[in-house]
Structure 1
Amino acid sequence: MHGANLGVRASAHLACGGFPEPASAEDHALVAASAAGGYRVSRPRDLRVATSARRASRAESVR
């Protein structure tokens, strides 16, 4: 599971505190918080997602 392939309902995102501040793996932390909060987490093995292989970010860093 990676953040580029992650979908979360806004209400669940807010109820779980949103993305935490760890230096990395914030997507994993949000999924763990969602599961701990009683939200259903689905990890379909047959779903394929294509993401960019670029190494330079398109967005400015906010940290």
Structure 2
Amino acid sequence: MQALIDLLAGFIALLVAAALAQFGADMERPPQPRPEVHRISDCPPPPETASAQARQEDC
């Protein structure tokens, strides 16, 4: 009985996909691009002198 229900569900899904394909609907999603990952480094602890601080301007 379970196999019959599975068969009917598969057949109905096939009919729905065929009907939607007539209108240009596609059941497959286009692959989404993976997001870019930007790796950053942690800033070192603050330096003791002002000259060393001038070298670490980007942190």
Which bracket does the TM-score occupy, shorter chain normalised?
Answer: under 0.3
Task: State TM-score, norm by structure 2.
Answer: 0.27
Bigger RCO of structures 1 and 2 (CA < 8 A, at least 6 apart): 1
Indicate the structure (1 or 2) with the bigger Cα radius of gyration: 2
Task: State TM-score, norm by structure 1.
Answer: 0.26
